[in-house]
Structure formats: structure tokens, C-alpha cells
Chains A and B, each alone.
Chain A
Amino acid sequence: MVLEWIYDLTYALLKPFKKFLKPNSFAEKAMISIEKVGKGVVFDCQMCGQCILHSTGMVCSMNCPKNLRNGPCGGVRLNGHCEVKPEQTCVWVKIYEGSLASPKYGSEIMWIQPPVDRTLQDSSSWVNLLHGIDQKMKTVWQTQDEKDALEPIFRGSNEKE
């Protein structure tokens, strides 16, 4: 998927500038504006500051009215629409389809996403990613082994059909 490619490209472009892109710096302010506009237009970004777009089929999970980051609730309507906002398609129905269409990162939908750190709201996701701020937790939330065990399940049972 082209969005995966853009994600990789952006990461590669920003990485060399890590030491300039510091939290609370002028550069972060600039990044915030860019993210607000760019991701805002494309993904209706909610500026949670800990973007997991590439793990959720390039669809922003924070647009789910319940802010679910680990999959759809049990209230999806028969037409695939949202329980809370009947006029919109369930964000997680879109995420599932998006993930199936994402060859590189799609299976990361199986990761167990940690609770949102609300202090990062309205900060720059890219800055937080480069400095590992969005991953910072005081407990081991999910081991790499577990991620590795879960990921194949996503495509595994799908191939059979």
C-alpha cells in the first residue's frame, strides 16, 4: 500500500534530524503544525501524540467514538456501521480492511496496544516516535515473543479461505 511506503519514507527522512526534533523545541512546534494539517486532512488525525496508524491499516483508531485501539467493540451494526454514530462506517471495519491491504505492517493489528498516554495529546507523534517517548512504560506491556506469536494469526486463517 502506498501509505505504508510514505510512512517508511517519512521515517527515513526525519531520522537524521532526530537531534533537532526534540520535545518542546521550536522544531516540534513546527512538526505539530505539519502533522495537524497533513495527517488532519488525510486521516482526520486527533493528535493523540502516539500515532499507530501503520499498525491500524492506515486508518486512525482515535476516530472510534470509544477510542478503541485494539479492535472493534461488539456493537458493529449489520451494515458495518458504528453503534454510536450510525451514519459512519465502523472505524475498525475500515482498519481491518486497511490492514488486509497493507502487506508490510498489516499484521501489526494483532499487537496489544497499550493504554493511551493522555499527557501526549497535541504533541508531535513523530518527535515522540524518534525519541521513544510514545513507547515509554514502566512495566513490560508486551514482549516481542508475544508479538511474533500473534502476528502470523492475522494472515494465517485468512489464506485458507
Chain B
Amino acid sequence: MLWNLSLEGQMKKNKSSMSQLEQVLKSGRFAITSELNPPDSADPEDVNRAAMILAGFCDGINAVDASGANCHMSSMSICALLTRVGYEPVYQISCRDRNRIAIQGDILGAAAMGVRNLLCITGDDVSAGDQPGAKPVFDFDSIQLLRTAQMMRDERVFLSGRKITSELPLFLGAAANPFVLPYDWRPKRLAKKIAAGAQFIQTQYCFDVERFREYMRQVRDMGLHEQVYILVGVGPLRSYRAANFMRTKVPGIVIPDEIMDRVKKTPKERQQAEGKKICVEIIQQVREIEGVAGVHIMAYRQEELVTEIVQEAGLLPRR
């Protein structure tokens, strides 16, 4: 059964957000986004330097919101720095640290600074981070956050019903993790996120291409790939040790045994190169899957590699 929604207007209904990322996706070009590792400093140059590398070929740069519940420069301020120099940020908002009052205010503020892309996520629990004693907020969940942002943009009201007095041009995104249980629920959850307002999706790290293929098959069966742009999360493993850490300590990342073995068998000094090679191969494989609109490259503390990955995966020239 094709999901022939009365939500079919979803894509049409959404007014243009003036987002460059949206333009690229709409034009049918294969999109590339990446994330900027937030500095532990108050030095804007740290952000500019990292952004300069990525901006050359990325259609959007994600400003992460204390990912893994570790404290860094805030996503809002990174966005402010990026829009100042004309880069295209994707503002990540997690539900972990702020309540609905703060979040709605931040959405307006971000848009005022020129932010056009919003990524609404639940967020890792505080227990995953460096300050596990912090109070977890979770006033919203990611779907409630999406729906609220959609309502603010389309109906121009806050949750309270109070009016918003200007346009709020936003391109709304959400995360998806096809690699964790319950597998059958994941495409249905995607449908829910689309209904709640998601126009683009950035997935969790994809290392299990077969699982992803199956997920996309279900997504296509439901007709969802025509209602949302799916960017597949990819990234280079730095070493066997790093891979093992991601696999066991970071919630939601699934790395199949074959990939672990492949990195393990590689001599230590060549593991980073092998990790990069695996990433390039995965990009080439997922690119062939119908319904994939782009990749989201997450290279934690290896930004310099992103350029090489994009080049070696045959994604250049970009403009």
C-alpha cells in the first residue's frame, strides 16, 4: 500500500524557506552536509577555521547541540558565527537541555540571525556525557518539537496560541536511526516525523548498508521517499580503538562485525586510511539506493578528512 496521505500537501504547503540546502535538494542534486565539531573555547576563529574547510563543498554545516551530552560551545552561537560570514548552518536543537519556552524563543532568534535549517532531535541522555549529574529536561520529544516548529512557521503562533508577528522561513529536519530496534517501527516513525513537519532527514551513522537497504525498501513501499529528503549519515572510523569506543559507548551506533574485523586486521598506522576507505565505499553504495538524496558526513575530530572523502567518493566538483 502506498501511503497516499492527506498529508500529501506537506511538501507543497511548506513555503520556501530560502534555505540553500533546500534549494539543492529540490533541484535533485546529491546533497552533502557535514558537522562542525564545536570548540571548547570562546575563540570565534576555532569555528571559522573548521567551517572554512567544510564550506567549500557542503550544502549545510550542522552546528551540534552538546552532542553526547558533552558541554561545548552552544549550537546557537555557532550558528550566529556561521551566518555572520555567510555560511549555511543547520541548527541542531535537542530536547535535553531546554524547555518549551526556551526552545520556541531560540527558534525565533535563530531565524532572525539568518538560520534557515533546523534539525529537531531528542538528544542523548545526560548520563552519556561529561556531566551526568545535570538535570535532564526533555520537556518536548523530537516529534513534539518538530510539530511546534511547523506550527510556528505555518500558523505563525506559539504553542500558547499567541501570534508571531513575522514570517518564519525554516526548512525543518529530523534524525532517524534505521539501525536499532524495533526495525519495523523505524519507517513508521519516519512517517510520523514527516507528518509532524520533517522535510529532510539526517540518519545515524550507516555502517550496515544491508540493513539500510532494507529500511529504504520499506520507506519506498510506503512512498515516504517522495515526501522527505533522506541524507545518510556516514563517517570515517579513526582507528580500531575509536571504532570499538563508538560501538560500545556511544548510544545508537551499530557497526557490523565485518567492518570491525576489517579495521582490526589493518596495521595500526594504516587504520585511519582504512576507515576513510570504508567510508568512501559506503557513500558509493548508499548513493545507488533509490530515495537517498545525499550524505551527512560526520568526521569527529577529523574534519580535514572530509575533503578527501568527498573527493574520493567522486562527489566533486560541487559547483
Which residues of chain A have a CB within 8 Å of any CB of chain B? 65-78, 80, 83-84, 90, 92-93, 96-97, 110, 112-116, 118, 137-142, 145-146, 148-150, 152-154, 156-158, 160-161
Q: Are B161 and A138 in contact (CB under 8 A)?
A: yes
Given A66-B125, A83-B128, A139 contacting B252 (CB threshold 8 A) = no
Instruction: Give the contacting residue for B143; candidates A70, A90, A152; CB below 8 A.
Output: A70
Size category of the B interface is 35 or more
Residue of B nearest to A81 (CB): B181
Which residue of the partner chain A has the closest CB to B152?
A139
Interface contact B155-A90, CB-CB below 8 Å? no
Docked pose: A116 CA to B139 CA in angstroms: 7
Contact B141 A70 (CB under 8 A): yes
If A83-B251, A115-B159 touch, whether A72 touches B218 (CB-CB below 8 Å) is no
Query: Of A68, A80, A161, which one neighbours B181 at CB under 8 angstroms?
Result: A80
B148 to chain A, nearest CB (A): 8
Q: Which of B100, B138, B222 contacts A66 (CB 8 A)?
A: B138
Measured between beta carbons, the chain B residues less than 8 angstroms from A96 are 182, 184-185
Kindly state the separation between the CA atoms of A115 and B142 in the bound complex, as whole angstroms.
10
B192 interface contact, C-beta 8 A:
yes
Cα–Cα, bound, A78→B185 (Å):
15
Whether the pair B141, A150 counts as a contact (CB closer than 8 A) is no
CB distance from A38 to the nearest CB of B (A): 27
Closest to B185 in A: A96
> What chain B residues lie within 8 Å of A138 (beta carbons)?
159-161
Q: In the complex, which of the residues B6, B125, B187 contacts A149, with contact meaning CB atoms closer than 8 Å? A: B6
Q: Is A160 in contact with B192, judged by CB distance below 8 angstroms?
A: no
Q: Is the CB of B191 within 8 A of A110?
A: yes
Contact A157 B252 (CB under 8 A): no
CB distance from B42 to the nearest CB of A (A): 30
Complex CA gap A92/B122 in Å reads 14
Assess whether B1 is in contact with A157, with CB atoms less than 8 Å apart: yes
Does B195 lie at the interface of the complex (its beta carbon under 8 Å from any beta carbon of A)? Answer: yes
A11: min CB distance to chain B, Å: 26
Nearest Cβ distance between residue B221 and chain A, in whole angstroms? Answer: 6
A112 proximity list for chain B (CB < 8 A): 143-144, 147, 192, 195-196
B5 and A149 within 8 A (CB): yes
B127 interface residue per 8 A CB criterion: yes
Does B192 lie within 8 Å of A150, measured CB to CB? yes
Q: List 29 A-B contacts (CB under 8 A).
A: A65-B125, A66-B122, A70-B141, A72-B181, A74-B175, A74-B204, A74-B251, A75-B124, A80-B181, A83-B125, A83-B252, A96-B182, A96-B184, A110-B192, A112-B147, A115-B139, A115-B140, A115-B159, A138-B160, A142-B147, A145-B6, A149-B6, A153-B188, A153-B222, A156-B1, A156-B3, A157-B184, A157-B187, A157-B188
Q: A74-B176, A83-B128, A150-B191 are in contact. Are A93 and B182 (CB under 8 A)?
A: yes
The proximity string for B residues 246-261 relative to A, scoring 1 for CB distances below 8 Å and 0 otherwise, is 0000011010000000
- Compute how far the CA of A47 lies from the CA of B191 in the bound complex, rounded to whole angstroms: 30
Which of B95, B139, B196, B251 is the most central at the interface, judged by chain A CB atoms within 10 Å of its CB? B251
In angstroms, Cα B159 to Cα A141, docked, is 9
Across chains A and B, which 3 residue pairs bring their CB atoms closest together, nearest first? A74-B177, A75-B251, A138-B161
Do A114 and B144 touch across chains, with their CB atoms under 8 A apart? yes
Is B209 part of the binding interface, using a Cβ–Cβ cutoff of 8 Å?
no
| Residue B52 CB within 8 A of the other chain | no
Inter-subunit contact B180/A74 (CB<8 Å)? yes
CB-defined interface of B144-165 with A at 8 Å, one 1/0 digit per residue? 1001100100010101110000
User: Are A93 and B181 in contact, with the CB atoms below 8 A?
Assistant: yes
- Kindly list chain B residues whose C-beta atoms are within 8 Å of the C-beta of A65: 125, 136
A157 to B29, CA, bound (A): 30
CB contacts (< 8 Å) of A157 on chain B: these are: 1, 184, 187-188, 218, 221-222
